[in-house]
Structure 1
Amino acid sequence: MERFQSLQLIFYFPAARSVAPFSLLRSSSRGLLSITESERGPAGELMATADPIPTSPSPAFPTRSAADLFSDPLDSHPLWFKPNSFLSQDFDSESYISELRTFVPFDTLRPQLQSHLSSLNHELIDLINRDYDDFVNLSTKLVDVDSAIVRMRAPLVELRDKIQGFRSSVEASLVSLRNGLNQRSEAASAREVLELLLDTFHVVSKVEKLIKELPTVPSDWSAGDPNLTDKSSSTNNGLFLQNAESGTNMRETQSMILERIASEMNRLKFYIAHAKNLPFVENMEKRIQNASQLLDASLAHCFMDGLEHCDANAIYNCLRAYAAIDSTGNAEEIFRVAVVAPMIRKIMFHDQSGVVAGTSQDELEGDYQLIKERIQEDCKFLLVIASAENSGLHVFDFLANSILKEVLLSIQKAKPGAFSPGRPTEFLKNYKASLDFLAHLEGYCPSRSAVTKFRGEAVYIEFMKQWNLGVYFSLRFQEIAGALDSALSSATLIPSQNPSLDGGNLTLKQSLTLLDSLRCCWKEDVLILSCSDKFLRLSLQLLSRYTHWLSFGLAARKKGDAGSNSVCEWAISAVPDDFINIIHDVDFLAREVCGNYLGLILQLLSLCSSEVHDSVKESILQGGRSLNDMIPLLIRTIVDAMADKAAEELRQMKGITATYRMTNKPLPTRHSPYVSGILRPLKSLLDGEHAKTYMNMEVKNKLLSGAATEITGRYYELASDLVNVARKTESSLQRIRQGAQRRAGASSEVSDNNVSDTDKICMQLFLDVQEYGRNLSSLGVEASDIPSYRSLWQCVAPQDRQNTIVY
C-alpha cells in the first residue's frame, strides 16, 4: 500500500506494559494500519484506512496444539527467567542484567530475551487484530470535538472566577481576624501587667500600713506590757484595741501582725519576680527595701522577746512569718546568738583551774553532758514548737544550724586540741563522746526523715570532717604494727616472761606480741567501727607478717646462710627446742584466731549484713590456715636437724672398712658402738622438758615418723655406698691376686671356706642394722614399715635372711 507515507499514531496496551509503546508502525507488506493527511474528511476528521494485520503465524512462532505433549508450551521459560520482573515499577535493566549474569552467561541470556520480545510482539499483534473494528470506527465518532470543548470550558471558567473571588474574601477576613486576635492578646498582656502593677502597689501600701501599726522604735517595746498601745501612733489603735479588749497580750499581737506582714511580703516577692525590669517596680524598689528592713528588724526583736519570755504563741507566729518570707536562716541565727551561744560559751570557756586532776583540758565528755542538760532546760521548748505535727515549720533545723553550729565554733575556739589525732587515746574518747552527743540531738527529731535531713546539713558534715579518722588509723597502725615489727626484727628468739600468764601460755615474745597486736586492733579504746574494714585488714597483715617471718627464717636455715637479711638470723642459731616452742605458739595462735578471736570480731560486727559476716569469717579463717600450714615446715626443720646430727654418727661407718680390709679378723658377732648414738639426739629431744610441756601427741608422732624416715634414708645411702665400694675393691684385688698366681704358676683356685673382707663388712653392717631397728622399736617406730629400712636390710643382709626382717 504505497499511499501510506508515514505513521505517527501511538498505541498503548495494558497487557504489555513491560514493552516500550509503539510510537511508530512502519508500513510494510503485512498491511499495518496507516493514516495520512490526504485522507481527512470534509469536516477535518481523521479518515482511517487500514488493512487487517495478517494473522498467519510468524515463522519464528510455529503454531502448536494445546494437546501437544511432546513440545514445550509457547510461554515456557527457564526457572531463572521471571517475565513478571519487567512489570515492576522500579524495574532497572542494568540491575536486572548484572543480577542474572552472576549465574547465566550472556550467550544464554540474549536468546531468551529475544524470544520473550518476539512473544510480546506476537501478543501485541493479536490484541490489535482483536479490536481492529473498534479502532477504525473511533475516528467516525469524534465529530465536533472542539466545539464541545469550548461549551464545557465556559462554565468551568466562570466557576473558577467565583472561587478565586471567594478565596480572596476569606483571606481578607482571616487577616482581619488574626489582627484582631493579636490586638486582643496584646491588650490582655497589657492588662495583666497593669493588674500586676496595681496588685504590687496595693501590697506595698498594705505592708506599709501594717508596719505603721508596729512601734516605730523597737526599744519602745515593753515585754508583755498591755499598755503599749499608748506608745503607738494614732493610726495603729484599731487592731491594738481589739486585741487588748480580747485579752491578748501585746507580744502575741505583734507576732500576729508580723505574720500578716510576712505573708504580704511573700506575695510581694511573687509579684516582683513576674514584673522585673519594669520602671514602675524599679521606682518602688526603695519603698520595698525599707519595708523589708523594717520587717526583719521588727520580726527579730519580737522573736528574741518571745524567746526571752518563752512565749509559745509569739514564737510560733514568728516562725511562721520567717517561713513565709523564706528567711529560716535568720531565725536559726537569732536563736543561736541569743540563746545557744551564751549557754555553750559558759560551759566551754569555764575556768581551766577547775579541771579535775588527771583529765585533759581538751576532753569533751563532761562538756557534752552539761550541754545536754542545758539543751533540755533552755532549748527543748523551741524544738518542740518547730517539730510540731502539721505546723509547717519543718523547714527549720535548729539542731544543726543553731545548736551544733555553736558547739562546733566553741570547740574550735576553746578546745582546738580535741580534734587533734596526735593523741589517739584522747582523740578516740572525744570522737565517741561526739557521736553520743549527735545521737542525743537526733533524739529530738520527730521522724526518720528528720534524722536524715539533720545528717545531711552542711554543719553536720563539717562537724564530722573535723575528726580525721585517716590520720588516727595511721597512728594506730604505726603503733600496733611497729610493735610487732620491732619484736620480729630481733636476731634471736626471745622467751616471754611468765608464759602461763601472758597470752595463754605462749613461750616466745614474738608470738605474744602478735597476739597482743591482734587483740589491740579490736579493743574498745582503739577500734572505730566506721574504720572496721581497715582494722580487719591490719589484723590480716599482722598474721601475714608473722607467717612470712617464719617462712623466710626457715628458708634461710635450709640454705644455711642468712645472707644480708638480719631478720633471718634467729633461724640459723635456733636449736630444735626453740622450734618446739614455735610449733606450740603457732598451734595456739591458729586455734585462738579461728576461735575466740573470730567470735570477738563477729560480735563487734553483729550489725553488718550476712554477706559481710561471711566475708570476714572466711578471711580470718584463711589467716588461721596460713598459720597451720607452717607447722609441717617447722616439723621438717626439726627433722632435718635430727638427721644432720645422726649423719655425724653415721660417718663412723667408714671405720668398718679399715677394720676388716686386708686383716685376718674373724666375722663380727656384735654391733658397732656408733649405732647407739644415731638416735640418741632424737630420743633426748623427745624426752626433754620442752617436748613434754609444749608438744602434743600428734606433733610428736609426726616428728618421730619424719625423723626416723629421714635418718634411715641417710643410713641407707651411706651403707649402700660403703658396700658398693667394698665389693668393687674386693673384685679388683681378686683379679690382681689371680693374675699374680698365674704368673707364678700356682693354682688359681680359692678355697670355699675362706670368708672375704666384703662379707665381713656386710656382716658388721647387718649387725648394726639389726641394732638400729631395735632402737627404732624402743622409740615406738616399726622399722619394717619404713621403705628405706627394708632397702637397707636387703643391702647388707645375708642371702638366706634378705626376705625376713628380724631384729
Structure 2
Amino acid sequence: MGMQQGMSWQVELDVLCVVVVLHVLRKRRGRSEPRRKFPDSDSGSDFDENTTDLPFPKPLSRSSFLAPDFDPATFLSSLTNRHQTLEDLRLELRELSQGLNKELLDVVNENYQDFLSLGGALQGGEEKVEEISVGLLGFQRDVAAIHAKVEARKAEMESLLQEKKAYRIKANIGRALLDIAERIEELEQRLMIVGTKTSNGLPSSTEDVDSDQEGFISDNTESEGDSEEETDESAIISVKRLESHVEKYLYIVSESDRIGSDHPFVVGQQPRLEKIRSTLLLDLDTALKQSRKGGTKDETRTVKVLRLYDSLKAESSAVSALKQLSI
C-alpha cells in the first residue's frame, strides 16, 4: 500500500512537470504557431482501424494539461477507466516530458540571441530605475511648485477682482453724485435761486428764501390790496412747469436716498434741497392764490396744485394756504 502511494505521488510530480513545460512552450510560441503532432497525440492516426475497439488506453492529450483549473489529483482520478498500470502511466508521462523538454530546448536554441540581448538589456536596470525615480521626484516637486504659484496667482486675481468691483461701485456712486449735483444746479437755475457760494462751490445755507424769489414772483407779490383785481397773464405761474419742477426735485431726493442719506456729499446738499423745496412751496402758494383770484375758482387748476402739495408731503402748507384765502 505504501509503495502504491509513493508511486502515485511520483506520477503526480511527473504530471506537474509536463504541465509546467507545456505552459512555457505555449506562452513562448503563441497561438499563431502551428502545433507539432507527435505519435502520442489524440489523432490516433498510427493505430490500425481494426484495433480501435480494443481496450488499449489512448495516448495522453496535451490539451488535458492546459486547462486553467488543472489539478493533478483530479486528472489522475479521471483515468480510472484506463486499462494501464501506474508504471506504464509513469513511463508515458516521462516520455511526454522528455519530448517537451527537447522541444523547449529547441525553442531556446532558436531564440538564443534574443535571450542574450534580453539579459544584456537587463544589466544596470536598477540604476536606470533609480534615475527614473529621481526624475519623477524632481518632476513632482516642479509640479507642486507650479501649483503653489497658480494658487497664489489665483488668490491675487480674486483680490484684484474684488478691488475692481469696489472701484466700479464707487465710480457708479460718483457718477450718480455728479448727476445729482448737475440736476440741483439746473433746478436752481430754473427756479431762479441766486445766492452767494462758499469756498467749496456750494451756495450758503443761511440765505433768505424769500429774497431768492423776488425775480420770479415780484410781479405777483406786490401789495395785494393795491393790485389784487389786476391780472397780468404773463406773470401767472404755469402749473405744468410747476409739475416739471416738482418731478425733478422728487427724482433728486430718490437718488439721494438710494445712495444713502448719510453720505457726506448728500448731507452737504441738504441745505440746497431744502431751499428748493421752500421755493417750490412758495410757488405753489402763489399758484393757488392765482387760481382763486378775483372770485373766479378754477377747480381743475386748484386740484392740480393740491396734488403737487401732496407729492411734496406738504399737506399742512396746503391747508394753511387755503385758510388764508378763505379769510
Per the shorter chain, which TM-score range?
A: 0.3 to 0.5
Q: Which has the higher contact order (CA 8 A, sep 6+)?
A: 2
Give the TM-score normalised by the residue count of structure 1.
0.20
Give the TM-score normalised by the residue count of structure 2.
0.44
